[in-house]
């Protein structure tokens, strides 16, 4: 194999805490261990299509370990195979994958590290079929990338959501209210499950387990009978009732995510208050979940993923994604993450753990006594 001399890196999809830690880890490992040059592309695939970016030096990545966001910029709107040059005209699309290949060759790159979620990694897999050599690093606060047990960014977002649950507890207790917290999670409920268990939620509603409003209200009434005049409900934005649909906040023509979810907590709050007579309020955490400095855990995991990606390149193992399996670093084919999202098995240990402590998922026909805080 031709000796590696130059590699590229880009960050794609929604931002997540730890992206800068990956950029830093790749640049430092590549330059310090292998003496490679690293080119950072701006704004994900848009930078690959236009060839815009810069050669990253040691000083460019010093001090960014603790910074949220990404110094390279990101976007989830620029699929090179269905590319919109000017977003004012979303119907004017073209296949710009040839531009990516030309810029790859023009920069004399030997490989690219693609950092992103399933959409970004799916595009990267398609690019590999055109002769580009890529290594993927999984990123998403939703923790739903197939092929890995964990993605960086999730731990920080779960900490943010759990802190929000903690704060809602004090208001719920003081005012004898039901408080709902809506978190991200279109198809996978990992954030709601993690924050709900860690924060002492009483009800957790996730996309994988359709709920019944009657069961949610039964849980709340059961707590009142026990003398607990407040309840906490943590709900994923993609949760839906049995036989029902998700709540759509907005539809955006021309966007890769044309259907924007959001507002399930407002709908539920009204239903709960009507059926129980208990004052009910809701909070939508929104993009606060994406922001802020990455947790120490995510800094460490992002650095592990980054250095492992560099080693895959050094070993000539291309078109694979770094992953965590059975607690160990490994890799899977780049075709795996884009196949479908990684969702929660309703019978998994985490769900059983939550149920055993009395947490309701809104699907119970008859609720046991006890549970929650």
Map out the domains of the chain as residue ranges: 6-152+294-333, 157-290+345-356
* Alpha-carbon span 40 to 9, nearest angstrom: 5
What pLDDT digit, counting tens, does each position of 88-138 carry?
Answer: 888 899 999 999 999 999 999 999 999 999 999 999 999 999 999 999 999
Examine domains 6-152+294-333 and 157-290+345-356 and report if their fold is the same: yes
What pLDDT sits at residue 262?
80
Q: Is the pLDDT of residue 62 over 90?
A: yes
pLDDT band at 77 (very low <50, low <70, confident <90, very high): confident
CB 204 within 8 A of CB 361: yes
How high is the pLDDT of residue 138?
Answer: 97
**Region 311-338 average pLDDT:** 96
> Which of the residue ranges 68-77, 340-349, 364-373 would you say has the lowest mean pLDDT?
364-373
Q: Cite the DSSP H helix spans in 13-86.
A: 19-34, 45-50, 58-61
Predicted pLDDT at 246: 85
Is the domain covering 6-152+294-333 a CATH 3.40.50.450 domain? yes
pLDDT of residue 371: 53
Residue given tokens 């019944």 in the structure block: 212
Q: Rounded to an integer, what distance in angstroms lies between the CA atom of residue 31 and that of residue 184?
A: 37
User: What are the tens digits of pLDDT across the range 232-260?
Assistant: 999 999 999 999 988 887 666 656 665 67
CA distances from 93 to 12, 86, 184, 252, 286 (A): 20, 9, 30, 16, 30
Tell the residue number behind the tokens 């007579």, with chain if given. Answer: 277
Nearest to 295 by CA among 64, 128, 66, 30: 66
Please give the Cα distance from 38 to 7 (Å, whole number): 5
Tens-digit pLDDT profile for residues 148-178:
999 999 999 999 999 999 999 999 999 999 9
Q: Is pLDDT of 366 > 60?
A: no
305, 152 Cβ separation under 8 angstroms: yes
The residues annotated as belonging to the active site are 142
Residues contacting 306, CB < 8 A, separation 6+: 21, 22, 23, 24, 25, 26, 29, 113, 137
Domain 157-290+345-356: which CATH number of 3.40.50.460, 3.40.50.720, 3.30.1490.190, 3.90.245.10: 3.40.50.460
In contact, 168 and 283? CB cutoff 8 Å:
yes
- Beta carbons within 10 angstroms of residue 352's beta carbon: 10
């Amino acid at each position: 194999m031709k000796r590696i001399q130059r590699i590229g890196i880009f960050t794609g999809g929604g931002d997540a805490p730890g992206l800068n830690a990956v950029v830093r880890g790749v640049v430092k490992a590549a330059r310090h261990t292998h003496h490679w040059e690293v080119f950072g592309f701006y704004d994900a695939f848009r930078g690959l299509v236009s060839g815009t970016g810069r050669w990253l030096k040691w000083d460019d990545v010093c001090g960014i370990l603790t910074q949220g966001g990404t110094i390279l910029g990101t976007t989830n709107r620029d699929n090179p195979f269905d590319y919109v040059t000017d977003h004012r005209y979303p119907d004017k699309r073209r296949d710009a994958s040839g531009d990516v290949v030309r810029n790859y060759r023009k920069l004399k790159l030997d490989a690219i590290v693609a950092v992103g979620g399933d959409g970004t990694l799916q595009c990267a897999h398609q690019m590999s079929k055109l002769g580009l050599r890529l290594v993927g690093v999984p990123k998403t606060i939703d923790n739903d990338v197939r092929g890995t047990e964990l993605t960086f960014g999730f731990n920080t977002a779960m900490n943010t959501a759990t802190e929000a649950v903690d704060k809602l507890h004090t208001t719920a207790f003081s005012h004898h209210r039901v408080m709902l917290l809506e978190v991200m999670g279109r198809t996978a409920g990992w954030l709601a499950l993690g924050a709900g268990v860690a924060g002492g939620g009483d009800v957790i509603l996730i996309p994988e387990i359709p709920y019944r409003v009657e069961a949610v209200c039964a849980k709340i009434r059961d707590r009142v009978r026990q003398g607990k005049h407040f309840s906490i409900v943590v709900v994923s934005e993609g949760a839906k009732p049995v036989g029902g649909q998700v709540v759509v906040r907005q539809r955006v023509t021309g966007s890769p995510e044309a259907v924007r979810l959001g507002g399930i907590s407002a709908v539920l709050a009204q239903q709960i208050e009507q059926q129980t007579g208990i004052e009910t309020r809701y909070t939508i955490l929104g993009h606060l979940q994406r922001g802020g400095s990455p947790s120490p855990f995510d800094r460490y995991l992002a650095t592990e993923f980054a250095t492992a990606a560099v080693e895959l390149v050094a070993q000539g193992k291309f078109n694979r994604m770094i992953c965590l399996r059975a607690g160990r670093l490994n890799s899977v084919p780049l075709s795996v993450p884009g196949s479908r999202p990684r969702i929660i098995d309703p019978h998994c240990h985490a769900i059983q753990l939550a149920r055993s402590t009395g947490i309701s998922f809104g699907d119970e026909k008859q609720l046991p006594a006890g549970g929650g805080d």
